């Protein structure tokens, strides 16, 4: 007999004569003649109530079943007589698959997020983390659906890369040299003996590669892991995280902003529609303001303003900022939060940043002072998207590379794309973990990644 | 005015008064009073025929348009009077976005795969590689759809890992130490100063992490990059490739085989249904036998036989093999190919391999001689799936780890999962690039990866 997942039974429209369920015991309590078992199989937040009658052959054993044990149950899916749930299974047979010892760390009580991080291999068995990782899965699917519906092609850009200066942050080195016995040449490591014959790193962005494909296939996107070797122990940064990077040929900055706003709204609508039960947990227990905040994103037009205007707003703000702001300085997290949370009270897109603080590949505006960059900021999170129209003019690009001290030899292929069939194109990067944080109200990036990597932390 | 993608126009049911298309010129030829342009925008294999009348203002310029140039065209979508295509656009206006110089490497002629690998940034602009990467994108989506429909949750398992002995192959090291100035302790590298405070590597498989989630959420899968630092320059191995790894709680080896066969058939059916035009290119120009081969996979039950039986078949074969085979030896590529291509002439699942040649986590069978492993072999490719039922018995697992000389301390979390709520579970890994090779007839893995990484090769 085939097991049925609990999500399907809880959504059943009618009683079913006989079903087989398998899962893990969340709690068990005894009445005089019954034992009530709350069974969860991870398919959804909800448990199936199992009623074990004392008449069962192995009732003495059943009465010893502990939290975390695995069991298999056969019985009728019946309308529940109790108040708490619609369906229950009066068991005809209960088989104990494995008994959890009393040392099982997830006994029925509240555990701190900090403690649960130390047992990241077990925390998806809790209500909160089960819900978080189901939502992560649904959001991944939503991202693929969104782009698929629009005719975007999904591209797997390289993780190991020889380009080391995209300017997006510190990079990890990848090597298969024996570190205890490094080959040297002229006093320096001889990378010609390394796997790729040269220095190689973990990618910080798939953008440059994705551009090559946008200039061939039109609309493309990446969705994969990216890395930063930055020694920052904040709640918003991880050394390994997933990023979504669409790249569109024949698209300018305005189109780029449209796509960013549309994507975020799509994802909010998607989880509200498809993850109701799990979302409800976060709205009740994690962030009381979650639903109004998501409604606000869904229903209101994102504010759009040039960086220069944002700077003026900040200068005129009564707030005291830790970092002074003036034209030419990068917006700090506190500035972004003020703009989106205090001033506009809704998502904001800031565009046309000073070219001096932005990478070489962003398109220089006619003022020759700003570039066609844009950041999307949302309340509670801050920057969630960063993107730009790319510099498609060969001569301007080469000048910018010189200004940034980049080797045109290393980037010969990137430059080639502006030599042959260059067209206006745009794209952005969206941090996937920030999206999950936005949707769930979870405020530490370590808690939305199955096994997070941060400085000093590589367990599991 | 919004541009329309060429795929939508080619599928149009009716003429349209005015459309805007943008793309890259594949070819141009002149008649007395017209110039005919084949325009491609990457949305599909097919080109839109543009007819430029000499009456156009910039006809002199248009006559100079080169292969690879980018243009923007306005005009009526009209039934074609010529024979080759259904639709064409008599241009009312042609704007040249950028002119490609004569040095553009993709002139209209046949290029070798070897040459195209040296311009991997441009090759998706060719018919063959455009088709290959559209199929890659469609197959990715198909994989997510398949698992989503079955209620599997998608898990992002870590790329950087501290576990270094899963036995799946050589691993790349990840570090942010200064290699020219390594911190040492007792004559060895002092990893306590490294980013994670210990040695770290690039993952060879997400399986062990995925198991933790299967034991919480039920059915899960990973789909992400994996790495091998093996110095093997074959047409089937890359240092970086994508792998699909489902993992199912409450599932035995038979259920695992079911899922593998169902997945492969689903993917074949999916590309045949959804990638007709691109698939046709491969069937015509790359592998004449492609369609019958795929039909064979789709319509026939996969053969299933124990390893021992496979060994007997090989021993009795008239073929001369380079490697001798006997019970206890691993099947070599030549053996696998013989079994699937020559003997059964269809996909084959071989199961119950000797435990001596398989990793510690595979479930020991009652004979104590074999483990519940399975490999799926397909004609033309060889092994495409490798999997097993996992050892869920704590004592057996610990014994196996001892036999393999693995540190139980390092794997405390993995062992924990057998201590608390352990259940029978199974899963497998499917090399995504091999799937693409199977579907397209492309026989070199370098040609199905956007920018492939192999020994000495990290360009782009």
| Residue of B221, B247, B420 for testing the chain A interface, max A β-carbons within 10 Å | B420
| A272 and A378 housed in the same domain | yes
B268 vs B384: CA distance, rounded Å: 13
Token readout for B381 is: 């490719």
Retrieve residue A171's tokens: 């990079």
Say if A396 is an interface residue toward chain B (CB within 8 Å). Answer: no
Q: Kindly report the CA angle at A142 between A136 and A147, in degrees rounded to 5?
A: 135
Examine the domain organization and report whether A160 and A245 are in the same domain.
yes
Q: Is A449 close to B239, i.e. CB distance below 8 A?
A: no
Supply the pLDDT for residue B166. 57
Query: Distance between CA atoms of A393 and A424, rounded to whole angstroms?
Result: 9
In terms of Cβ atoms closer than 10 Å to its own Cβ (0-12, 13-18, 19+), residue A428 is buried
Residues in chain A with CB shorter than 8 Å from the CB of B43 are 151, 217-219
Q: Do B133 and A43 touch (CB under 8 A)?
A: no
- For residue B3, is pLDDT > 80? yes
Q: Is the minimum CB–CB distance between B198 and chain A shorter than 8 Å?
A: yes
Identity of the residue in B121, B130, B174 whose CB atom sits nearest the CB atom of A217: B130
Instruction: Indicate the number of domains in chain B.
Output: 2
> What DSSP element (H or E) covers B46?
none
Residues B385 and B320 in one domain: yes
Percent of chain B whose predicted confidence (pLDDT) is above 90: 93
What is d(CA A382, CA A396) in angstroms, rounded to the nearest whole number?
31
The whole-number pLDDT of residue A108 equals 80
Sign of the C-alpha dihedral, residues B265, B169, A457, A127?
positive
Contact B69 A229 (CB under 8 A): no
**Residue B215 to residue B250: CA distance in whole angstroms:** 9
Share of chain A above pLDDT 70, in %: 99
Provide the pLDDT for residue B12. 96
At B86, list the tokens: 């259904």
Compare CB distances from A133 to B151, B153, B229 and report the shortest one's residue.
B153
State the residue for tokens 């021992």: B308
CA B9 to chain centre: 30
How far is it, in rounded angstroms, from Cα B458 to Cα B188? 29
User: CATH no. for residue A268?
Assistant: 3.30.930.10
Q: In this predicted structure, what is the pLDDT of residue B165?
A: 57
State the pLDDT at residue A82.
76
Say what the pLDDT of residue B309 is: 98
pLDDT range class, residue A84, cuts 50, 70, 90: confident
Q: Please say which residue of A48, A81, A98 terminates a domain.
A: A98
Is A234 at the interface with chain B, CB within 8 A? no
Kindly state whether residue A105 falls inside one of the protein's structural domains. Answer: no
Q: Are residues B423 and A250, on separate chains, in Cβ contact within 8 Å?
A: no
Residues A147 and A294 reside in one and the same domain: yes
Which pLDDT score, from 0 to 100, does residue A291 have?
Answer: 98
Q: What is the pLDDT of residues B399-436, one digit of tens each?
A: 999 999 898 998 999 999 999 999 999 999 999 999 99
- Residue-wise pLDDT for B367-388, tens only, equals 999 999 999 999 999 999 999 9
Residue B186 within any structural domain of the chain: no
* pLDDT score for A351: 98
What was the pLDDT predicted at A169? Answer: 72
Flag whether residue B148 sits within 8 Å of chain A, measured between CB atoms.
Answer: yes
Q: Pick from B98, B131, B149: which residue ends a domain?
A: B98
For residue A136, is pLDDT > 70?
Answer: yes
Average pLDDT value for chain B: 96
Q: Is B179 part of any domain? A: no
Statement to judge: residues A300 and A405 lie in one domain: yes
Please check whether residue B104 lies inside any domain of the structure: no
CB contact under 8 A, A137 and B155: yes
Nearest Cβ partner for B141 among A24, A144, A219? A144
Q: Which of the four pLDDT bands, split at 50, 70 and 90, describes residue A141?
A: very high
pLDDT at B83: 75
Which range of residues forms the domain containing residue A311?
Answer: 123-168+204-447
Q: What is the pLDDT of residues A24-50, one digit of tens each?
A: 999 999 999 999 999 999 999 999 999
Q: Tell me the pLDDT of chain A averaged across its residues.
A: 96
Distances (CA, A) of A117 to A281, A448, B135: 19, 11, 39
CB contacts < 8 Å between A and B, how many?
Answer: 315
Please write the tens of the pLDDT for every residue from A159-171. Answer: 999 876 556 679 9
- Beta carbons of B179 and A180 less than 8 Å apart: no
For residue A107, tell me if it sits in a domain: no
B108: pLDDT confidence band, cut at 50, 70 and 90? confident
Q: Is the pLDDT of residue B168 over 70?
A: no
Which residues on neighbouring strands pair with residue A28, listed in sequence order? A37
Q: Is B169 on the interface with A (CB under 8 A)?
A: no
- Compute chain A's Rg from CA coordinates: 27
Task: Evaluate whether residue B421 is within a structural domain.
Answer: yes
Closest-CA residue of chain B to A95: B423
In a domain, B116, yes or no: no
Nearest CB neighbour to A213, from listed B22, B133, B424 = B133
**B75 pLDDT higher than 90:** yes
Q: Decide the pairing of beta strands B153-154 and A153-154.
A: unpaired
The pLDDT of residue A164: 64
> What residues of B are in contact with residue A419 (Cβ under 8 Å)?
100-101, 103
Give residue-wise pLDDT tens across range B262-308: 999 999 999 999 999 999 999 999 999 999 999 999 999 999 999 99
CB B300 within 8 A of CB B346: yes
Cβ–Cβ gap B137/A155 under 8 Å: yes
Shared domain for B87 and B131, answered yes or no, is no
- Residue A167 has a pLDDT of 61
Cβ contacts of A179 within 8 Å, gap of 6 or more:
B173, B175, B177, B179, B182, B189
pLDDT in tens, A262-302: 999 999 999 999 999 999 999 999 999 999 999 999 999 99
What is the reported pLDDT for A163?
Answer: 78
Global pTM value: 0.97
Looking at the structure, tell me whether residues B309 and B387 fall in a common domain. yes
For chain A, give the number of residues: 460
CA dist A270 and A377 (Å) reads 20
Contacts of A17 (CB under 8 A, 6+ apart): A76
Residues B168 and B241: their CA atoms lie apart, in Å, by 14
Grade residue A188 by pLDDT with cuts at 50, 70 and 90.
very high
Do B421 and B278 share a structural domain? yes
Q: How confident is the model at residue B84 (pLDDT cuts 50, 70, 90)?
A: confident
Q: Which residue in the set B104, B156, B451 is minimally distant from A209, CB to CB?
A: B451
CATH number, residue A34 = 2.40.50.140
B67 shares a domain with B147: no
In a domain, A179, yes or no: no
Would you state the structure tokens that stand for residue A241, as one six-digit string?
Answer: 């995280």
Do both A326 and A409 map to the same domain? Answer: yes
Dihedral in degrees, nearest 10, Cα atoms A373, A377, A382, A386: -30
Is residue B149 domain-shared with residue B18, that is, in the same domain?
A: no
The predicted model gives B313-330 an average pLDDT of 94
Interchain pair B458, A196: CB under 8 A: yes
Residues 6 or more apart whose Cβ sits within 8 Å of residue A172: A201, A202, A227, A229, A239, B160, B174, B175, B176, B195
Q: Would an 8 Å CB–CB cutoff place A419 in contact with chain B?
A: yes
Distance from CA of A47 to the nearest CA of B (A): 12
* Cα–Cα nearest to A336, from A370, A371, A374, A366: A374
| B68 and B129 fall within a common domain | no
- Name the residue with tokens 């890994």: B429
């Amino acid at each position: 007999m085939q097991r049925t997942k609990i999500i399907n039974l809880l959504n059943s429209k009618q009683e079913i004569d006989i079903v087989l369920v398998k899962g893990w015991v969340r709690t068990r309590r005894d009445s005089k003649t019954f034992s009530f078992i709350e069974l969860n199989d991870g398919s959804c937040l909800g448990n199936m109530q199992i009623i074990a009658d004392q008449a069962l052959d192995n009732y003495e054993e059943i009465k010893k079943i502990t939290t975390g044990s695995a069991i298999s149950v056969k019985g009728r899916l019946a309308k529940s007589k109790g108040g708490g749930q619609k369906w229950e299974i009066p068991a005809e047979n209960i088989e104990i698959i494995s008994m959890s010892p009393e040392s099982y760390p997830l006994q029925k009580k509240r555990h701190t997020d900090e403690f649960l991080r130390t047992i990241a291999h077990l925390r998806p068995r809790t209500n909160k983390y089960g819900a978080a990782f189901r939502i992560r899965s649904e959001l991944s699917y939503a991202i693929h659906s969104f782009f698929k519906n629009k005719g975007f092609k999904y591209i797997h850009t390289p993780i190991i890369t020889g380009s080391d200066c995209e300017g997006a942050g510190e990079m990890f080195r990848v090597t298969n040299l024996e570190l205890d016995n490094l080959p040297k040449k002229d006093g320096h490591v001889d990378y010609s003996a390394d796997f790729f014959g040269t220095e190689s790193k973990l990618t910080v962005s798939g953008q440059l590669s994705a551009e090559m494909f946008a200039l061939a296939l039109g609309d493309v996107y990446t969705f994969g892991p990216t890395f930063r070797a930055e020694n920052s122990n904040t709640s918003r940064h991880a050394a390994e995280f997933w990023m979504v990077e669409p790249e569109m040929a024949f698209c300018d900055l305005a189109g780029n902003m449209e796509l960013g706003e549309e994507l975020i709204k799509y994802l909010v609508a998607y989880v509200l529609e498809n993850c109701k039960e799990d979302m409800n947990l976060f709205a009740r227990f994690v962030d009381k303001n979650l639903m109004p905040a998501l409604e606000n994103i869904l229903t209101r037009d994102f504010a759009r303003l040039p960086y220069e205007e944002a700077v003026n707003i900040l200068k005129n703000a009564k707030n005291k900022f830790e970092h002074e702001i003036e034209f030419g300085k990068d917006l700090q997290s506190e500035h972004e939060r003020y703009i989106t949370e205090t001033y506009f009270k809704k998502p904001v897109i800031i565009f046309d940043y000073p070219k001096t603080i932005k990478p070489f590949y962003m398109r220089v505006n006619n003022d020759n002072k700003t570039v066609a960059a844009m950041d999307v900021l949302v309340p509670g999170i801050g920057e969630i998207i960063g993107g730009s129209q790319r510099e498609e003019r060969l001569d301007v690009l080469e000048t910018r590379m010189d200004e940034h001290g980049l080797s045109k030899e290393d980037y010969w292929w990137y430059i080639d794309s502006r030599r042959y069939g260059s067209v206006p194109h745009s794209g952005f990067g969206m941090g996937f973990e920030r999206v999950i944080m936005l949707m769930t109200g979870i405020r530490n990036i370590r808690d939305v990644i199955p096994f997070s990597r941060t400085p000093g932390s590589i367990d599991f």
